[in-house]
Every structure is written in C-alpha cells, then in structure tokens.
Amino acid sequence: MTKLTLGSHPYLLGFEQLERLLERTAKSGNEGYPPFNIEQTSDWSYRITLAVAGFAEEDLAITVEDRQLVIRGRQREDGDGRIFLHRGIAARQFQRSFVIADGVEVGEAIMENGLLHVDLTRVQPEAVVQTIRIKKG
C-alpha cells in the first residue's frame, strides 16, 4: 500500500506547495521565547501578540519572507559601565516565524506595555465563475 500525500492524490491538483509548507512548519521547532498569543479579532482578521518586555521598537524587525511573517528581536548591549551583581534578565535575541496563507495581508504593528501586536487581515475572495470554451481539434 502506497502512502498518499497531497501532491500525489489524484483529486488534489496543484497542492504540492501546501505540502512543502506543512513540512516547513513542522520543522520550524517549538522554541518558547518569546511567548505569544494568536487571536481572531473578526471573521476576516487576526492579531499576533508577542511578549517583548525590555525590547525597544528599534530592537525589533518585522518582515514578510516567502509567505512567512518573521519577527526578529535583538537588544543592544548596555555599554554604560554598569556592574551587575546578578543578571537575571537576559538580553537575548529571538526570531519567530508564522506561515501566512495566500490572501492574508500583514497590517500594522503596535507596541504597547511590553507587548507587540501585529494585525493580519484576510482579503475577502470574490466569487468567480469561469467558463472554458472547447476548441475543435
């Protein structure tokens, strides 16, 4: 018995990219920093919220790369000569990636109270009926 995949199923044509996307998402890992929430704010919109306490706006970068929303954070080292007796607050960098579907657009990003909110909107599809003409061979 052969294993059927999305790319090899006879009724699912053109879904090879979706299969690659699922594999890439599964391999992305389950790193836990920084913690985040994903909420549906309406039928057509979402909000991703990351806890980025200690990061300034200029320490964060948000990009869309190959249908992935990538959020990176890198804090600058404090070079003002402070001497720490204990340093329990780590200034570590991070990268979080979220795969976004075709038709989902990244909106604005808002920073408030140590939380970074990134809004996403799904573009409402138009109903399209296409008639294909049959040519004489």
pLDDT tens sequence for the chain (137 residues)? 566 666 666 777 777 777 777 776 666 655 688 999 999 999 999 999 999 988 999 999 999 998 899 999 998 776 678 888 998 877 789 999 998 988 899 999 999 999 999 999 998 878 888 888 999 97
- Tell whether 132 is covered by a domain: no
Q: Which pLDDT score is estimated for 89?
A: 75
- Tell whether 127 is covered by a domain: no
What domain count does the chain have? Answer: 2
Shared-domain flag, residues 22 and 57: no
Residue 17, domain extent = 1-30
- Tell whether 137 is covered by a domain: no
Q: Which pLDDT score is estimated for 121?
A: 96
Tokens of 101: 């579907």
- Tell whether 131 is covered by a domain: no
CA 105 – CA 91 distance, rounded (Å) = 31
Q: Which pLDDT score is estimated for 60?
A: 96
pTM higher than 0.75, yes or no? no
Q: Which pLDDT score is estimated for 57?
A: 94
Asked if 75 and 91 touch (Cβ cutoff 8 Å), the reply is yes
- Tell whether 40 is covered by a domain: yes
Shared-domain flag, residues 95 and 48: yes
Shared-domain flag, residues 118 and 52: yes
Q: Which pLDDT score is estimated for 126?
A: 80
CA 51 – CA 57 distance, rounded (Å) = 13
Q: Which pLDDT score is estimated for 56?
A: 93
Asked if 75 and 93 touch (Cβ cutoff 8 Å), the reply is yes
Shared-domain flag, residues 13 and 50: no
Shared-domain flag, residues 65 and 88: yes
Instruction: Fill in the DSSP letter of residue 33.
Output: S
Shared-domain flag, residues 19 and 67: no
How many other β-carbons are positioned within 10 Å of the β-carbon of residue 128? Answer: 5
Shared-domain flag, residues 7 and 39: no
CATH, residue 102: 2.60.40.790
Q: Which pLDDT score is estimated for 4?
A: 62
Nearest alpha carbon to residue 75 among 89, 63, 92 = 92
Shared-domain flag, residues 20 and 72: no
- Tell whether 39 is covered by a domain: yes
Q: Which pLDDT score is estimated for 109?
A: 97
